[in-house]
Structure 1
Amino acid sequence: MRAATERKDPKDRERVEAVLGVLKKQAPLTVKQEKFCSYACVERFLRAEGDSVKKAAKHLRAVLSWRESIGTDHLIADEFYAELADGMAYVAGHDDEARPVMVFRIKQDYLKLRSQKSFLRLLVFTLEVAVSSMARNVDQFVLLFDASYFRSPKSFLQLFMGTLKIISDYYPGRLHKAFVIDPPSLFSCLWKGVRPFVELSAVTAVVSSLDFEDSLEDGSFTSLLRTASFRFDPAAAKVGSCASSRFSFTVSHLNSLKPWYLTTTTTTTRSAVVPTASPSLIGASPLNARSFSFASSAPQSTPWVGIAGAAISRSIPSTPSSATPCRLRQPQPRTPMPSFFQSPATLFSFKKEGRLSRVERERESFLPFLRFYRRPYDEAVYRANMRPPLSGLISIVSHHDQLKQRRNKIQSPPALTASTK
């Protein structure tokens, strides 16, 4: 630690040594406590307390006593075998800047079946796993809290605020960003009310996973959905006597008794080419064919060139007997009327050009961590990345069994050769 402090600012080094001196005067530090009170740790507490030596020493002493009461040095994965099997809390990986990303998928019924102390120990265990997996030049982590399993916004708000309270009090300066994903419907209203009183609200964002459906890494599922839509395919249109047998429905504003008009395929000669049997799809291209599908009820009034070369109106009569074409007037865009329910705050809100809103900034900040949220959970991989003693006895026994199997494989060929001789 002395080699690291010599490279720092002399004033910062003096403050760190002063904090450690105050702690040692109060009570002697154990070996584990001295290892925890490193230069980077004391520096984080100084930043959290505004470079005040007394406040930082008091805060650090409270954290040391809290860690001793929780028993952070004795937390192992075997205590949370059910939670790890369900993937309720785990470290999903590291981002581009080597920060560990934690994912919490706590269910609402979990708090009814377990006590608040059990959730606290699970939270502390996950935080310790994330801290132990950090590199030397990394001191922050990212929190992804999946709230889709909660039905009550009040119960989730209490759980989430308790989580932020633990992180701000006992892990100061550790949280880089926290995201609440798919919260209950009224959570946003409750969060706006308590947000000014939460210490870590500046690094907390509320996002919805439905806003990122188009950003899937594997686009095979979305491509299947798109190809299954009712779009016009020019290759599917047949030439000559073999025409398409699809039906089309168009809206007519001429006859209110017959609002829908059903047309079938008409057989033409070989010299005339019919692009499609549907009058609503005539003249459509692959780019604008979606607006000409039968799902769209707006008639097209652009003329098209018929068999004889004359321009014919695109509007469709209500009955087959009425042959007089009629050009419909296109509706003019109307100016939106001011709403009575519109908030008066919108009259005084002026959005500058080139600046994104807070919601848009939160969505963009969540994009680098979307892959961790959608990554499937694997308990074996998560346990393998834990450092002992956090990994528990299961990983130690499994590692011992692997070593036994390797030794048996090495010793088995000489035994076989001896038996053959």
Structure 2
Amino acid sequence: MHALLRPAPGRLATCLRQSLPDPVDPVRPAGRPPHRGRQSAGLAPLAGDHPGAAVRPRRHGLRRAERLLPAHGQTGDLWASERRQCQAAHAQRRGWVPRRPRHRCDRRDRGHRRLQTAGNIVIYLAAEHFVRAPQWTWYILGYFFFAGLTGGSYAVATLLRLVGDPRDEPAARVGFYASFVALLFCPLLLTIDLGASWWKFWHMLIDVTPGDQGLNFKYWSPMSVGVWTLLIFALFPTVSALESFVLDRRARSAAADSSGSRFRTVDAPAGPPGGVLGRAFNIVGGVLALFIASYTGVLLSVSNQPIWSDTWMLGGLFLASGLSGSAALIALLTRYRPDAAFSLGRLHEADGYFSILEIVLLVAFFITIGAAGSAGLTLSFLPLWLLALVGIGASLFVARGHMRIRPGGGGSAVIARAGTDTLVVSVLVLLGVLALRAAVIFSAQ
């Protein structure tokens, strides 16, 4: 008995492999059914991809082809036969991924995603995040918090200087000071989280691998782009803070001369020097400041973690939160600078607008993660979410109910406190900014 093959292209009957010698090939001539023994199951198969009828009918329900030759033997040119009722075995790969019991990331199926299986069959599975949690700790939380404050403070200070009243200049200088101090914590916290010494921050910028030295810039990496933008942005708060320090010293010297000094009195400058170039410098720095305040949220959105990758609101949410916290911080610091009290009303008003934008984006955030099925992961950090809402509410409360506008000085506005101290409100807003970032970061881990 010899193993039979499907018909070769152009032939209508079952035969042996054409490379066999002539004495073997006539055992079953092409085109002539056998005269004795079992009959063929049907007509000869047609040429092409159609499998045709079975050459030797056997039991139904077989899943695998019968092996006619030993697996370890020498088969030469002889191939095992293939019959119609012997279908290919089904893939043994599971079409679903079981979830571990009592796993802390266990959650309901979210959406559908295609998965390529063996045999090039595309099936749909419940969407899951097949990555490990980054295990970010309080260092990253501090980095995100101070990044929002340094960017937001510079942006608010730029607005006060360029589009505000000339009497808003002292508050603008307070904002530049706050932006510079908050900037100092960013590289320190980032390098500590990476487990490196704080002075090795420049290793993120320059590749020190022997034989491959050069700039370590990857335009496709949000982390690399963010680090380089932080480096470039650092120039603007540093220069603006130094400029503010020089202007303040000059103003104090002028005040001392006018109070009875024998030296010549120098008039305090009404505004910063520089003209058009100075304004352009602040505008460019303000644009980079907005990027720094929002890029931490974008960094989370491009990851593959639950909650973070389920929404596109994090960049705008962190930006609005950072601006609100920065306005509250500058308002808090004006308590220690009497000449900046004129801008207190403007700061509370701006904080209110930023908080309205923040609450809108926060609602959109919960809608998007709810549609993705990952909103349940946020319940473990409900106190943090409530603290964030308290900060937003305090900002709105002061902006709308505890600020009376009194005319004076050419239509300017002066804040009149009515029962709520700026210190309490500013602290609540800053705690809300910190709680919001903590809830977002830790909910996904």
TM-score interval for Structure 1 and Structure 2 normalised by the shorter chain? under 0.3
| Rg larger for | 2
TM-score relative to the length of structure 1: 0.22
TM-score relative to the length of structure 2: 0.21
> Which is helix-richer, 1 or 2?
2
